[in-house]
Amino acid sequence: MKKLIPVFVAIVLIIIIGIATAGTIVFDKYSYSEEEANLKEYFGVKGDRLAIFLQDERVEEQALLKDGVCYFDLKTVHKYFNDAFYVDNTEGLLLYALPTEVVRVRLGDTTVERGGSQEQLSYVPAYAEGEKVYLAADFVKEYTNFSYEVFELRVQVYTRWGEKRVATVKKDTEVRVKGGIKSPILREIAADEQVEVLEKMETWSKVKTEDTFIGYVENKCLSEESVVTETPVTDYVEPEYTTRQLENKVCLGWHSIGGVGGNDTLESMVANTKGMNVIAPTWFSLNDNQGGFESFGTPDYVERAHNMGLEVWGVLDDFNYHNVNKANIDVFAVLSSTTNRTRLIEGIVAEALRLGLDGINLDFERVNADSGEHYAQFVRELSIQCRLNELTFSIDNYVPFNFNAYLRRDVQGKVADYVIIMGYDEHWHGSGDPGSVASINYVSNGIDKTLEQVPKEKVVNALPFYSILWKIDGAEVTDEYLTMINTQDFLDRIGRQGEWDEETQQQYIEWTSGSATYKLWVENEKSIQVKLNVMKAKDIAGVAVWRLGYGTPMVWEMINAYANS
C-alpha cells in the first residue's frame, strides 16, 4: 500500500496540473486583452504629421501641425476641399479669385491683401517647404464649405452633412482595433457616451467615437440606436457670380480681320446676315511672352456696328500673331506668370474700354495640359475685370473630350457669361484624316458634354459655314476648304450632288479622277437645320457662326428663325 501512495500523489498532481492548464487555456481564450494599441502606428503618422479623417474614412494624405496651426498641402486642398487656390511659385504668391477681387498672400508672410487693403493674421496662411506648399486650414475655411477639428495625431474633416446612425454605450467598455476581445484597445469608452455606428455585425459593430477613433465595440454594450441629422457648417456663404446676358438668344458672327484695313469690310460682312445681334472681330492677338498683344480695333468700327444694332465682343486669341509672323509665342510663359497675366488683363480691358466694346471673346487654342491650371486662373482673373467694367465675357472652346478636360469648363461655366462650343473641326484641315467637319453626333455630344459642367443659359454652339474637300492619292492626303456660299457652284461644275448620309446628317459625295479619290461631306442649309433643331431641343443660349462672309441668305434665314424662336 505504501508503494502505491507516490503513484497516487503523482496522478493527483498530473490531474491538478491538467486542470490548471486547461483553466489557463480557457481563461486565455475568453479573457479580454488589456493590450493598448500603438496610436502612432495605428494612425500611420510620425513627427508633426496628422492623419486626416474625411467624413468616416481615413485618407492617404496627411496634415501637418506647425506652431499649433493645422496645415494641408495644396494638392490635398485641391483634391478634397477647393481647387480654386492658385500658387505662383516663381513669384511666391498664393492667390484666390473671388467674383470681384483677388485675395493675395505672399508665401511665408502673415499679410493678406483683400480689395486693396491689407490684413495681418495671427498665423502664416501659406508657406512653401521644398516643392510643397502648405495652406492653413483656417485660411482655407474662409473660402470653403467644410469643418475640421484637430485631435492628438489626427484631424477630422467634414465636407458634407446628412443623416447618421448613432448608439449609446450602456457600460464602460473599450473600442478595439478589430472585432474581437484579443484585439488591442484604441481607447476606453464610458457609459452614456454616444458613438456613430458605421457597420453592424453579428456580435461587434464598427463605430466612430466623437473624437474620431474608428474601431469596434461589442453589440451588447450598445443601446438606443437611432438616426440623427448632422449639423452642417453655418458660417460659410457661397460667393455670388453675377452675369451679363442678352435678353434674347445669342446670335454671334465672327468677323475675321487680319489688319486695320479689314475693319472697312464691316458693312459687306453684315449685309447678307439676318438675326445677328453680336459681331466678334478678331482684333487682338498675343504678340510677346509678357502679356502684350496687337490690336486692330478702332472706335469707328464699334460705333458703326452699334448703329446696326450689334453688340461688339472683341476677340483675344493666342495664335494669329504666332501663325502670321512665325513668332515663338509661349502661352505657358504668359499664363503661368502673375505679372504677365496681370499685364495682359489690364491691357485688354483698357483697350476694350477705349474702343467702347460691349464684351471680350477669349479664343485661346494653344493651351495645353501643362498650362491648364494657369489658364483657369487667367479665366477667373479676367472675369473679375470684365465684371467690374460691365463687359460681357465669353470663352471659345473645343468640343469636350477627356484629353482637353484641363480647359476647365466647370470654372468657365461659373465665372464667364457665355461658354461657346466650337462645334466643328471633327476632321480638320491638314489632319490627313478624311471625314466630316461636324457630323450631327459630334455636335450633339459636344453640347451634352458641355451641359454637364455649364448651365444651359450660358452655352452657345458655333456652326461651320464651310466644308473640307478631301483628296486621297495613294498614301498622300490633301484637302482644301469650300465655303458654304461657294459649295453649290462647285458641285454644279463637277456635275455631282451626292446622297444624304443618315449617320452624319450631311450630303456625302465621293468620286474618282485619275488616280485620286475625292470625298466631301457637305455643310449646307439642310445639315445646318438639323443642328439648329438639336440646339433648340437642348434649349441652349444661342448660336455662333464661323465665319461672316461664308453663309448663304437661306442659311441666315434659318439662323434668324432659330434665334427668334
Q: 408 and 374 in one domain?
A: yes
Q: Is 370 helix (H, G, I), strand (E, B) or coil?
A: helix
Q: What is the pLDDT of residues 451-461, one digit of tens each?
A: 999 999 999 99
pLDDT of residue 116: 87
What cell was used for 98?
473671388
Q: What would the 3-class secondary structure string for 455-472 be?
A: CHHHEEEEEECEEEEEEE
Residues with Cβ within 8 Å of residue 300, at least 6 apart in sequence: 263
Contact 415, 456 (CB under 8 A): no
In a domain, 399, yes or no: yes
Q: 360 and 273 in one domain?
A: yes
Q: 170 and 132 in one domain?
A: no
Q: 133 and 170 in one domain?
A: no
Contact 157, 76 (CB under 8 A): no
Distance CA(304)–CA(313), nearest Å, equals 14
Q: How far is CA 106 from each of CA 86, 113, 221, rounded to the nearest angstrom?
A: 12, 9, 53
pLDDT of residue 7: 59
Distance CA(240)–CA(19), nearest Å, equals 78
Residue 206: CATH number of its domain: 2.30.30.40
DSSP code at position 36: B
Which amino acid belongs to residue 486? Answer: N
DSSP code at position 496: -
What cell was used for 13?
498532481
Q: 212 and 111 in one domain?
A: no
In a domain, 97, yes or no: yes
Q: What would the 3-class secondary structure string for 141-161 be?
A: HCCCCCEEEEECCEEEEECCC
Concatenated DSSP letters of 210-267: TT--EEEEEGGGEEEEEEEEPPPP-S--PPP------SS-EEEEEE--SSGGGGGGHH
Contact 137, 64 (CB under 8 A): no
What cell was used for 324?
502670321
Q: 543 and 413 in one domain?
A: yes
Q: 206 and 150 in one domain?
A: no
| Boundary of a domain, candidates 156, 174, 203 | 156
Q: Is 202 helix (H, G, I), strand (E, B) or coil?
A: coil
pLDDT of residue 12: 57
Contact 507, 500 (CB under 8 A): yes
pLDDT of residue 26: 45
pLDDT tier at 115, thresholds 50, 70, 90: confident
Distance CA(398)–CA(175), nearest Å, equals 55
- Nearest to 338, CA basis, from 110, 103, 73, 144: 103
Q: 427 and 336 in one domain?
A: yes
In a domain, 16, yes or no: no
| Boundary of a domain, candidates 103, 133, 156 | 156
**Mean of pLDDT values over 219-227:** 96
Neighbours of 305 (CB within 10 A): 23
| Boundary of a domain, candidates 114, 130, 156 | 156
DSSP code at position 399: P
Q: With DSSP H G I counted as helix, E B as strand and the rest as coil, what are the percentages for the chain, rounded to 5?
A: 30, 35, 35
Number of domains in the chain: 3
Peptide linkage before 547 cis (omega within 30 of 0): yes
Domain that holds residue 313: 254-465+524-563
Q: What is the pLDDT of residues 327-365, one digit of tens each?
A: 999 999 999 999 999 999 999 999 999 999 999 999 999
In a domain, 329, yes or no: yes
Residue 548: CATH number of its domain: 3.20.20.80
- Nearest to 562, CA basis, from 493, 461, 479: 461
Question: End-to-end CA distance of the chain, in Å?
Answer: 121
**Mean of pLDDT values over 162-186:** 97
According to DSSP, the residues that pair with 315 across neighbouring strands are: 361
**Mean of pLDDT values over 76-99:** 98
In a domain, 531, yes or no: yes
Distance CA(150)–CA(438), nearest Å, equals 55
Q: 433 and 323 in one domain?
A: yes
Give me the percent of the chain exceeding a pLDDT of 70: 95
Contact 452, 497 (CB under 8 A): no
Contact 110, 116 (CB under 8 A): no
pLDDT of residue 519: 98
Residue 148: CATH number of its domain: 3.30.457.10
Residue 467 phi, psi (nearest 5): -130, 170
Positive/negative CA dihedral, 492, 471, 397, 305: negative
In a domain, 442, yes or no: yes
Which amino acid belongs to residue 38? Answer: N
Distance CA(186)–CA(356), nearest Å, equals 69
pLDDT of residue 3: 61
- Is the per-residue pLDDT at 14 higher than 90? no
pTM (two decimals)? 0.93
Distance CA(200)–CA(197), nearest Å, equals 7
pLDDT of residue 22: 46
Residue with cell 456580435: 203
Q: 363 and 214 in one domain?
A: no
Contact 134, 126 (CB under 8 A): yes
pLDDT of residue 17: 61
pLDDT of residue 10: 62
Distance CA(194)–CA(223), nearest Å, equals 10
Q: Is 205 helix (H, G, I), strand (E, B) or coil?
A: strand
In a domain, 125, yes or no: yes
In a domain, 243, yes or no: no
Q: 528 and 393 in one domain?
A: yes
**Mean of pLDDT values over 112-139:** 96
Q: What is the pLDDT of residues 239-294, one digit of tens each?
A: 999 999 999 999 999 999 999 999 999 999 999 999 999 999 999 999 999 999 99
Q: 206 and 186 in one domain?
A: yes
